[in-house]
Amino acid sequence: MAQEYKIILVVKETSVQPFADALDDLSVAIAAFEIVPGGDWRLEAYAIEEPESATVAERLTLAAVAYGLPQPTFEIEALPQTDWLAENRRSFPAQTIGRFFIHGSHFEGPPPSGAIPLLLDAATAFGSGEHETTRGCLIAIDRIGKQRRPKKPLDVGCGSGILALAMAKRYRRKVIASDLDRESVRVARENMHLNREKAWVRVEHGAGYRLPIIGRNKPYDLIVANILAKPLCQLAKDLKRHLSKDGTVILSGLLQAQEALVLSAHRRQGLRLVNRQRRKGWSTLVLAARR
Return binding residues for S-adenosyl-L-methionine.
134, 157, 179, 226
Annotation: binding site? 134, 157, 179, 226
Sheet holding 95-97, edge to edge: 95-97, 100-103, 116-119
Pairwise CA distance, residues 117 & 31, whole Å = 29
Pairwise CA distance, residues 185 & 178, whole Å = 7
